[in-house]
Amino acid sequence: MVDKLVNSEANARRIAMVESCFGSSGQPLAVPGRVLVGEGVLTKMCRKKPKTRQFYLFNDILVYGNIIINKKKYNKQHIIPLEEVKLESIEDDPRGYQHGWLIKTASKSFAVYAATPLEKGEWMAHINKCIDDLLRKSGKKAVAEHAAVWVPDGKAPVCMHCEKTQFTLINRRHHCRKCGAVVCGPCSNKRFLLPNQSSKPLRVCLRCYDLLSGAKANHLVDSAQKGNNQDSSGEEDSDDDDEAQKAQEVYHDLPKFYGDNEKAEK
C-alpha cells in the first residue's frame, strides 16, 4: 500500500509540509523512495515527566519533535532509523499511564503513550510493518542490543542501588546508562564504555559496572579521579526541556496513516 505512495504528489507535499514545520531546526527529509506513512501526537516519557511530542512515521525513519505551535511549528527534531528499532508493548497501569509501548534502539530507548488502545494498535502495527519491510529489503538482522529505558525520576524517591540515599537538591539523581536505574552519586561513581551510546565512557551503577567489567576487563575507566562532584546537568535527555511548549495546549487529533484508504494517488 505504502509503495504506491512513493512517487505520488500527495506524499511529496506531505513531506514538504513536515520540513516546513521544522524549518531550519530540522534536517531535509525528502529523499528518493521515502514515504510519509503516518503522523500524530504521542506522549513521550521523559526524565522528569511525560511530554507531548509530534511524531512522523516514514517508511525508513521515525521523526519526532517538540510542539511550538500545533500543526505549524516544531523544533528539537530527532530522527531514529527504523532498522534499529524494536517495539515492546507496555502493560496498562490501571492507576497510571495506559496504551503505551517502548521504542527501543541501540543508542536510546523510551516509552510513548497513545490516547486510546486503538491508536496504540495502529501506531505499533504501522511501525512494525515498516521495520519488517526494511529488514526484508536490506536482508539485515534486527539489532539485538538496545539501550536501557530510563526509570523516570519520580519513580525513585531513594537510590535504586543502595536503597538508602534520599534524593534532594544536593543529592541528585543519576541514571545508569546500562540498566536505566535511578541511582545516587556514590552508587554510580564509575564509568564504562558503551560504544552504542557514546564514544566516551558513561555513568553506570556499581552493579552494572561489576557485570560489565567482569565481561570486559580492559575497558575499565574509573571516574573517581575526576572528582565526584559532577552534577547531572549534562545528563538531561536532550529533548527534555521545552519551556517553549505552552502548557501542553495540544489538541488531540486522531493520528493519520496514509495509504490505508487512499487509492494510488497521482
Q: How many residues does the chain have?
A: 266
Q: Which residues bind to Zn ion, rule: CB under 5 A?
A: 159, 161-162, 165, 176, 178-179, 184, 187, 205, 208
CB of 14 to Zn ion, least distance (A): 41
CB of 159 to Zn ion, least distance (A): 3
Closer residue to Zn ion, CB minimum distance, 68 or 204: 204
CB of 226 to Zn ion, least distance (A): 19
Closer residue to Zn ion, CB minimum distance, 29 or 111: 111
Closer residue to Zn ion, CB minimum distance, 21 or 176: 176
Closer residue to Zn ion, CB minimum distance, 78 or 161: 161
Kindly state the cell numbers that stand for 205: 551503577
Rg over CA atoms, the chain: 20
Cβ contact 44:38 at 8 Å: no
CB of 190 to Zn ion, least distance (A): 10
